Amino acid sequence: MLIAGRYSSLVFLLAFSIITFYIIQRSRRGKAPQIRKLPAIDAIDEVVGRAAEMGRPLIYTVGGVLDNVEAPQAITGFTILDYVAHKTAKTGVDLIICPRFATHIPIVTDIVREAYRAEGTLDLFKPERIQYYSDTQFAFATGVMGAIARERPASFIMIGAWWAEALMFLETAVIYGAMSIGGTANTHQIPWIVLCTSYTLFGEEMFAAGAYLSKDPISVGTIGATDIERYIIISLILLGVILVTMGIPFLNRLLSM
Amino acid sequence: MSEFLRRDIPLLITAFLTLFMLAEYFIDLPILGKLGGDIRSWGVVISAFVLPIGIVTLVRNNVTIIRRREKNWPYYLWSLIIMFTMIITGLIGDLGKHPVFIWLYNNIFTHLSSTMYSILAFFITTASARAFRARNVDAALVLISGVFVILTVAPIGEVIWPGIPVIGNWFLDIPNMAGMRGIIIGVGLGVLALGIRTILGYEKGIVMGEKER
């Protein structure tokens, strides 16, 4: 019935889900775990404030297709966009959004419109500032680089799954003096994003952003659960190293089932 | 729009499809495999239907900017001209076979894409130049490991000293690999947490601008 070679994955998925639900229940009872600060998220207020003080726009771009493994990164990009749009609606900062794919357009439009409506500044919402260029990688990269060069934004935020285009945006942002925040879970782009941005969200920080921004104890509970799961994985790695060194490949066989 | 339509229905669909796709991955049942394949095809079809939304958005926004003669409006006009030239020539006769479309694709689009990609070489150089300033211990470590890795992949490295590729490959295979695997494990756990939050309706990104609860 179960597919061979995936038993251990299923056991881990179930075990980690049970741990997460247990921590969520604890959080509901008022025992929410503490999570460390995420400087890149805290810096959003700073980059929006910078744009407001300088009277220049803020460019925001979301990356990642929605029908494959990149989707969680795109969802994080939308979650952070919601927060940024509320801030720009309050401060009157000109928010320019460059959706990476056509599938993002209705989502970002709705997020930004609702944020402006919620802040009572719907008249400041400009649909033409949602600037879609192309689904093609380098055509999109050219569009964003052109937008940075023309609009001279005070701040630039890019969150999502990025490839070669990431360095193009960020170096252009450096050239035009924009303060930037970058976020990705794509390991091959992390070094460049760390190098070229003022603040970075990388790896699992990306997926903690939603919980961090909401401050909701249940959401924060899911982050606390990942810490417990991390200790389990580290323990298994150490146990595996010791067993293999002793010539006992028991754990390897168990995990490859 | 009611909260039921705006929030609950999308979340129910997301939760059902997530659990279904998980079942398809773990359980060996032909019916699950077939339905899973169909659902993936729906995703492709939905994406294809959304592309015209992109075109409409682009046209609407660009026309608004051109009509108001806003700053840089000629760029927006040029963008529309190019887009419609490619669409019209691509649709004439056999799809994408018109000589003008093929000429534009092979002689303009391909070369512009290659040019954009090659610009990366300059960006990598300028970004590396900033990174390789040994201002503190961390930056010095980046500088040292970076020099070894660059000389490892460049043929001249082995000519200078045969030990360079050995050290460079050690940097790549041991500290670099360990760091990357740590990040990947963290990403996996983060995605699991995000998935659970999404199914439970606590992740705002999936419910598109939901009002504050």
Euclidean distance between CA atoms A6 and B37, whole angstroms: 19
Q: Which residue has the higher pLDDT, B211 or A55?
A: A55
On whether any CB of chain A is under 8 Å from the CB of B189, the answer is yes
The pLDDT value given to residue A90: 96
Give the count of Cβ contacts less than 8 A between chain A and B: 206
How do beta strands A155-160 and A199-202 pair? unpaired
Answer yes or no: do B187 and A203 touch at CB < 8 A: yes
CA distance A179 to chain B (A): 15
Closest CA to A103 of B160, B20, B43, B41: B43
Give chain B's domain count. Answer: 1
Domain range for B203: 132-213
Whole-angstrom distance, CA of residue B124 vs CA of residue A189 = 12
* Chain B residues near residue A20 by CB distance under 8 angstroms: 192-193, 196
DSSP state of A34: P
Residue B72 maps to a domain: no
Which domains can be identified in chain A, with CATH numbers? 39-214 (3.40.50.1220)
Query: Which amino acid, residue B207?
Result: V
Q: Verify whether the Cβ–Cβ distance B205 to A79 is below 8 Å.
A: yes
Check: CB of residue A166 under 8 Å from CB of residue A182.
Answer: yes
Looking at the predicted complex, does its ipTM rise above 0.85? yes
pLDDT digits (tens, 9 = 90+) for A219-240: 889 999 999 999 999 999 999 9
B175 close to A (CB below 8 A) = no
Q: What pLDDT does residue B105 have?
A: 94
Q: Scan residues 88-147 of B and list those with Cβ closer than 8 Å to A.
A: 112-113, 116-117, 119-120, 123-124, 126-127, 130-131
Residue B46 lies in a domain: no
> What is the C-alpha to C-alpha distance for residues B149 and A116, in angstroms, rounded to an integer?
49
Q: Looking at the domain assignment, is residue B10 inside a domain?
A: no
pLDDT tens by residue, A22-46 = 999 999 888 888 888 999 999 999 9
Tokens of A157: 């935020």
CA distance A248 to chain B (A): 23
For every residue of A56-103, DSSP letters joined together read --EEEEEE--SSSTTHHHHHHHHHHHHHHHHHHHHHT--EEEEESSGG
Please tell me the predicted confidence (pLDDT) of residue B1. Answer: 63
Rounded to 10 degrees, the C-alpha dihedral A221/A225/A228/A232 comes to 180
What pTM was estimated for this model as a whole?
0.91
- Residue B23 forms part of a structural domain: no
pLDDT over threshold 70, residue B111: yes
The two tokens of residue A22 are 């247990």
